[in-house]
Amino acid sequence: MPQAVAYATPSARAPFERTTIERREPGPTEVLVDIAWAGICHSDIHTARNEWGEAHFPLVPGHEIAGTVAAVGSKVTKFAVGDRVGVGVFVDSCRECPECRSGREQYCSGGGMVGTYNAVGRDGRWNDGGYSTSITVEQDYTLRIPDGLDLAEAAPLLCAGITLYSPLRHWGAGPGKRVAIVGMGGLGHMGVKLAAAMGAEVTVLSQSLSKQEDGRRFGAAAYHATSDAETFRTLRSSFDLIISTVSATLDLDAYLSLLVVDGTLVNVGLPEEPLSLRAGSLNGGRKQLAGSNIGGIAETQEMLDFCAEHGLGATVERIGGEDITAAYDRVVASDVRYRFVIDTSTFGAEQG
């Protein structure tokens, strides 16, 4: 069994500890990936803090994984040793339901997608995620990272990138569309870059103006503070599409008022508490409230290729394994510019 060094949290809200885990020898259609970088997604934090219900501990989170192929199974055709690859939020699905067959594995109706961590894999064991030095994954759930992308900057694309790319494409972000991105954290900053690259007119709605310069650099044409009540008066009926990446409860009525007639508010944030709204906020303007979950494998590859073509990566802060616990607090405080990525070369060699 290949061994990996990992960082695990033993219980909800406990500090991360260095540990050793076992990975599978790659089966016939699997690849063993040497992980170089793993992003810290706010979903890792919701999970590790039991904000979405009881998680399975010890927990090794991580679903923004970039590295190189170290070994391949006998029937692997898509990858060779040395290839630059990524692994995202899920590592398997039923492969037979209409969603899997149409490349929408993230909505698998035949039992659901199998999460990269905090889920039971095909081998009947709880999956460990990307805060580790290696992972064994099916070739069909492995992505190719184009040469032009830096691996550290590519890792966050596997969740943050695709989570914004998919709804931007689905709701037609492009020239002539006015798009607002709410919350400029890990997901939000990728939303700004992607929507701008697609040709949309992008506005950032952030709690303050402190990150305004960065937002403009990422491609935003306008930037407003949501802490200023004037923002909601000035921007009334201004957007065709609003995507909220906020990790906390949101005043949906206020944001719906910023849509034009027939506009759509897509909420991709997954706060601990339920959201609520007044029915009139939708009815008065035939507005739509929607959700979206990451993206399928083919669409994730399309997103990576799009990013390479447009020279887009995540803006990252590189940290070591010992920094993960402190990084979680900084993410929750909106104090990250704009995604932490963990350098697994800081983990040290496995013992025994």
Interacting residues with Zn ion (CB under 5 A): 41, 43, 159
Largest interatomic CA distance in the chain: 65
Query: Using CA atoms, how far apart are residues 212 and 66, in angstroms rounded to an integer?
Result: 29
Residue 270: contacted member of ligand NAP, Zn ion, none (CB under 5 to 8 Å, by partner type): ligand NAP
Query: For residues 186 and 321, which CB has a smaller minimum distance to ligand NAP in the complex?
Result: 186
Cβ atoms 65, 116 nearer than 8 A: yes
Nearest alpha carbon to residue 283 among 267, 268, 262: 262
Q: Which two tokens stand for residue 121?
A: 């894999």
Q: Is the peptide bond before 107 cis (omega within 30 degrees of 0)?
A: no
Beta-carbon contacts of 234 under 8 Å, excluding residues fewer than 6 positions away, are 224
> Which of 86, 115, 129, 183 is the binder for ligand NAP (CB under 6 A)?
183
The answer to whether the Cα torsion of 226, 229, 234, 239 is positive or negative is positive
Decide if residue 248 touches ligand NAP (CB under 6 A).
yes
Decide if residue 195 touches ligand NAP (CB under 6 A).
no
> Which of 87, 159, 198, 312 is the binder for ligand NAP (CB under 6 A)?
159
Q: What is the DSSP letter of 275?
A: P
> Which of 9, 132, 203, 247 is the binder for ligand NAP (CB under 6 A)?
247
Decide if residue 38 touches ligand NAP (CB under 6 A).
no
Beta-carbon contacts of 176 under 8 Å, excluding residues fewer than 6 positions away, are none
Rounded to a whole number of angstroms, the minimum distance from the CB of residue 326 to Zn ion is 19
The answer to whether the Cα torsion of 35, 40, 43, 47 is positive or negative is positive
Decide if residue 245 touches ligand NAP (CB under 6 A).
yes
Q: Where are the beta strands (DSSP E) in 116-216?
A: 134-138, 143-144, 178-182, 201-206
Q: Which two tokens stand for residue 19?
A: 């540990």
Residue 313: contacted member of Zn ion, ligand NAP, none (CB under 5 to 8 Å, by partner type): none
Decide if residue 203 touches ligand NAP (CB under 6 A).
no
Query: For residues 6 and 41, which CB has a smaller minimum distance to Zn ion in the complex?
Result: 41
Euclidean distance between the first and final Cα of the chain, in Å?
12
Q: Which stretch binds ligand NAP (CB under 6 A): 19-27, 234-242, 244-252, 318-326?
A: 244-252
Residue 155: contacted member of Zn ion, ligand NAP, none (CB under 5 to 8 Å, by partner type): none
Rounded to a whole number of angstroms, the minimum distance from the CB of residue 63 to ligand NAP is 8
> Which of 61, 219, 269, 313 is the binder for ligand NAP (CB under 6 A)?
269
Site residues (vs ligand NAP, CB under 6 A): 41-43, 46, 159-160, 163, 183-188, 206-207, 245-248, 268-271, 292-294, 331, 334, 336
